[in-house]
Chain A
Amino acid sequence: MTENVSHTTGTERTAPGIAEASHRFGISLEDYLLPTHGRVAMMSPDGTLLGPGEQGAAPGHSYPRPSDERLLDAYERLVIGRRINDQNAALVRQGRMAVYPSSHGQEACQVSVAMALEERDWLFPTYRDTVAVISRGVDPNEVMTSFRGEWHQGYDPHEHNTAVQSTPLTTQLLHAVGVAHAARLRGEDTVVIALCGDGATSEGDFHEALNFAAVFHLPVIFFVQNNGYAISVPLSAQTVAPSLAHKAVGYGMAGERVDGNDMMALLSVLDRAVSLARSGSGPLLIEAETYRMQAHTNADDDTRYRESEEVAAWRAKDPVLRLRAYLHDAGLLGEEAESRIAGHAEEVAAALRDAMNADVNPDPLELFEHVFVEPTPQLLEQRAVLADELARETEEKEEAR
């Protein structure tokens, strides 16, 4: 009785939403689930539009081009994102900020995930996704609290449905699954985008999160920014899978590859993914191919593990310049708009500088306030010890005067 059993996708075990999605595109389940060998792209590095045959889309898949307004909005966010990355790198060099993992070169990925979501949706970022968090609407000053070394985290995740920036790799993907699961149990149509990097796909929680999302059929989009390196280790040392997108197939979800420096392609792929997830097609995995233009953090020296020629080659594919060239050539971006956007970016940078240059004096006694909802008797005793120590310190300083 084995002749009817499919050895590929096993329709008996396939969630109905996936079957519907493949039907919707008029393609087989296999074609829906298996990523293409190419990647979806819409603009060449110089900003010229690619023809339908050059876009890397699998047969049957279609990606509508974003509207001009949406692309102009994206460009403004890109310029601001780039300015934030460069300003923060400068603040670290000046010693005003403890650390900043820059997403310079990855701004299109950062901006597209923020733009793809509705307010009621959730974003789960990592430490490198500061620009995505700010693009989602979180106050930059609050985002910087952690990088300034004042507290581990500074914004209210519930205010913009944007989770804390996760430092442990891929642990946040499971939180994303939980948020989607709770929403689904209540019958809400919340979509969740969870971010991680290429190296993180080797972590166990990556596997567990994708499997849970698929088994519970949840609207989670796993968005992997493949920037080529996990600190110093290239992707070739992490996996020999044909692509990271191929990892989706084993979980019974669709995987897609997209040019991560092509804002137009990213928005198209993500808009479609959000629409699919919201309409009940379950989770998706998207691999965005991009490049980390700067070192891992200020504490890293990237000349030890990669050639400057490689970095230069990626500079030619810059996501900000690419969209700018397209908009300019299409007559959508004039000098007036350019200078307005540049002014806006300068305002954001100035606010960041002001915030980082202001001296902050976090209250040491607050260390005991948030361990639990109410401090235990033991924490109150320890708080009293530190309070006494601080009082004596103040006294000694006053005496010394």
Chain B
Amino acid sequence: MSAAPQNAPATPEAKQADFAGVGPHARGAHVERPVVAPEHIDAPPAGPTTFAAALNTAMADAMAEDPSVVVFGEDVGKLGGVFRITDGLQARFGKDRCFDTPLAESGIAGMAVGMAMNGLRPVIEMQFDAFAYPSLEQVFSHIAKMHNRTKGRVRLPITIRIPYAGGVGGVEHHCDSSEAYYAHTPGLKVFTPSGVEDAYRLLREAIDSDDPVVIFEPKKLYWSKEQADIAALRAAHGRGGDDRLEGNARILREGSDATLISYGPSVPTALKAAEAAAAEGTDVEVLDLRTIVPLDDAAIDASVRKTGRAVVIAEASGFASVASELVARIQERNFHSLASPVLRVTGFDIPFPAPKLEQYQIPSVDRILDALDRLTWED
């Protein structure tokens, strides 16, 4: 008898214990189960916490609470992912619940479709933004459309995690801001957290969602720290409630002269620009969208109608982008409240540059301040 293959599951007894109560009867919808409090999972202590730890704890908590949650992708097992976001999940939950796949992104996404059809709740990792492109046929033609195609008879509760955007000195295919491709495709929800507590909550919401969710994780924020109390968020999540982040933008800074609208990796830059503008006497509001699909039009409209001026900031190339969509919507919906054209600060329409040149592509505080200056025209 030869050795068992690397991915052979554990004993049948262990399998059934692990997946107790999980089955195709779920049809992708949440099944009411007694909630298992994930107290045995270490949460980072309240205090300065990294974005990476928040994401890691979110997955661990989801796996502890719901036996149908499985995590897979490239190098997510023993290694814990190239960014260590799945660190320790295989050790805690076993090789059946967190495992490495062959190197094939379409395979990862396509297998997730079948698993979701058959009662599981897959969380898949695309190693890098541009490495996700081989999966796009599965994402666009099936993950996005299966629910509509079957009139809701088949739900695909799949979470696709994508580390994205630049600012980390990465090589050409590790720095794309690819959110527009997904946001343009009906049937996909698109989340992108910009803060540590939001990272935990948005990933939990993505995994809970019965719709497929693509969650874009800004790579340059992975190791940033913020004050956070993940254990408190976990407890709040366990209690349920309606205060979801999905479709609810947050006002990070209130202001009256202009609104900076942003998401993901550009939010910290927008905040810095607002502080610099304040020092120069301009009172700027900063809005973090949190989720691109669904979009919080109401929050955008309210802020723009209050300030009368807006700048949209996003790292992706500007042509035919999420930023373009935001500008179009803002002027369509709020034309009579606007005191000046809505401007954009985005990446240029060039392939993402090599590390020594990336600073010229990523929206900077100065470019945002320049845009704010151009809003105050009078004629």
Contacts and interface: CB of A to CB of B under 8 A. Distances in A.
B151 A15 contact: no
Contact of A153 (B8, B16, B138, B149): B149
Contacts, number: 176
A212 interface: yes
B189 A156 contact: no
B272 interface: no
A25 interface: no
B104 A208 contact: yes
Interface in A113-165: 122, 151-153, 156-158, 163-164
Given A158-B27, A186-B22, A371-B187, A178 B117 contact: yes
Interface string B1-34: 1111111110010011011001110010000000
A315 interface: no
B210 A181 contact: no
Nearest to B101: A212
A11 B2 contact: yes
Interface string A165-192: 0001001011111111111111100000
B102 A186 contact: no
A217 B8 contact: yes
Contacts of A171: 110, 137-138, 141-142
Contacts of A333: none
Contact of B189 (A163, A208, A215, A372): A372
B124 to A, nearest CB: 11
Contacts of B288: none
Given A158-B153, A158-B154, A163-B117, A377 B297 contact: yes
Given A171-B141, A373-B210, A377-B297, A185 B120 contact: yes
A371 B186 contact: yes
A153 B96 CA distance: 33
Nearest to B186: A371
Interface residues of A, number: 51
Given A16-B1, A186-B22, A370 B147 contact: yes
B101 A175 contact: no
Contact of B110 (A156, A177, A216): A177
B167 interface: no
B9 A185 contact: yes
Nearest to A220: B114
B47 interface: no
B293 interface: yes
B261 interface: no
A157 B7 contact: no
A86 interface: no
A372 B149 contact: no
Contact of A178 (B4, B12, B111, B298): B111
A164 B150 CA distance: 8
A204 interface: yes
Contacts of B155: 373
A175 B106 CA distance: 11
Given A157-B117, A212-B111, A217-B7, A370 B152 contact: yes
Contacts of B18: 185
Q: Most A CB atoms within 10 A — which of B12, B70, B138?
A: B138
A171 B9 CA distance: 25
Contacts of B210: 373
B107 interface: yes
A46 interface: no
B118 interface: yes
Give the most central of A16, A122, A178, A366: most B CB within 10 Å. Answer: A178
A205 B110 contact: yes
A371 B187 CA distance: 5
A97 interface: no
A185 B149 contact: no
B114 A174 contact: yes
A168 B112 CA distance: 17
Contact of B113 (A152, A175, A378): A175
B7 A216 contact: yes
Nearest to B144: A371
Nearest to B23: A186
A277 to B, nearest CB: 16
A76 B294 CA distance: 51
B2 A175 contact: no
Interface core residue of B5, B118, B145, B247 (most chain A CB under 10 Å): B118
Nearest to B5: A15
A218 to B, nearest CB: 10
B214 interface: no
A180 B295 CA distance: 36
A81 B303 CA distance: 62
Interface string B151-163: 1111100000000
B115 A373 contact: no
A208 B186 CA distance: 26
23 contacts: A151-B151, A153-B149, A178-B111, A178-B113, A178-B114, A178-B116, A178-B117, A179-B114, A181-B114, A182-B115, A182-B118, A182-B119, A184-B15, A185-B15, A185-B96, A187-B15, A211-B102, A215-B7, A215-B102, A371-B147, A371-B187, A372-B211, A376-B293
